[in-house]
Amino acid sequence: MTPPLADLLATARVVALPMNTRFRGVDVREALLFEGPQGWAEFSPFVEYPDAEAATWLAAAINFAWHEQPRALRERIPVNATVPAVEAARVPEVLARFDGCRTAKVKVAERGQALADDIARVRAVRAQVGPEGRIRVDANAGWNVDEAEHAIHALAEFDLEYAEQPCASVDELAELRRRVKHMGIPIAADESIRKADDPLAVARAGAADLVVIKAQPLGGIRRALDIVAQAGLPAVVSSALDTAVGLSQGAALAASLPSLEFDCGLGTASLFTDDVADARPVGGSVSAARVIPDAGALARLEAPAERRDWWLARLERCHALLDARG
């Protein structure tokens, strides 16, 4: 049952977190936090997402705040560093914020940039992490099949762990995977899981070697676990540029996975200059314990009144959608 809207509004806080570097077109990350019987949760679909999609994120937040979660199988979660589409000279500065991380996810296929920029950035990351470090690239569906094939060939010299969502559609991923299979570079699906009407289509089509899962977009921890179980593929738990509260839900998901073969994308607190709690990696991992936001940080990071009103109106609309869905 969806709790009454008044119960969510009673503790709702809207925060705006400044970022060290522009990421996914975002300079300030906004989120709505509220507290339920089980603790704090986060509702933070990106502002451009329609209400029908955002309502699934709200369902995940309500579930995390109101219901007991699956049993944790581990206390700490190994995480990767995240390198935005910065110029190569800034790579050491970015990686320095991710204490002890030996895996780096590098953003590529940024609009307005060229493959040469991606190559320079990945080369700089390899120079920093050394031959034993792991590098994965994330194109956020920015290439077509031919572009992706060409880019993966060009980046192969840097010993990629995998390429995440190089193309947009399941058919494109399947074709690309067929073309690059001889290179031994796995293909990971992200948007094809979290934004799909059928998140299992990727697995059925043989379009990916692993899946990237996120608790909020998939409707909560239990649904994400079910998707992984049905897909039958290794999973990487990642964040959607969450605050420390949202990262806590991601860590709880990672902690409850039966198998955790890859470092998770839950170290993104290091991309912010300030947060509601300290969730930055220490020694290459983060705690799976539930986060309680700091009262002073909630006040310091409070969003302007007009943005608070925007988020509360969105919360009300999405809550009504969940009620209508039953």
pLDDT of residue 311: 98
Contact assessment for residue 107 and residue 271, using Cβ atoms and an 8 Å cutoff = no
Q: What is the pLDDT of residues 79-114, one digit of tens each?
A: 999 999 999 999 999 999 999 999 999 999 999 999
Distance CA 287, CA 268 (A): 13
pLDDT of residue 149: 98
Binding site feature residues for Mg(2+): 138, 164, 190
pLDDT of residue 1: 80
**What end-to-end distance do the CA atoms of the chain give, in Å?**
8
pLDDT of residue 234: 97
CATH of 5-69+296-325, one of 3.30.390.10, 3.40.50.300, 3.40.50.1000, 2.60.40.420: 3.30.390.10
pLDDT of residue 126: 98
Q: What is the pLDDT of residues 23-58, one digit of tens each?
A: 878 899 999 999 999 999 999 999 999 999 999 999
pLDDT of residue 189: 97
Q: Between the CA atoms of 197, 198, 199 and 205, what dihedral angle is there, to the nearest 10 degrees?
A: -140
Asked about 105 being catalytic, the answer comes back as no
- HEC string for 110-139: CCCCCHHHHHHHHHHHHHHHCCCCEEEEEC
CATH of 76-293, one of 3.20.20.120, 3.40.640.10, 1.10.10.10, 3.20.20.70: 3.20.20.120
**So where are the chain's domains?**
5-69+296-325, 76-293
Phi, psi of 302 (to 5 degrees): -60, 135
pLDDT of residue 196: 87
pLDDT of residue 280: 98
- State which residues of the chain have pLDDT below 70: none
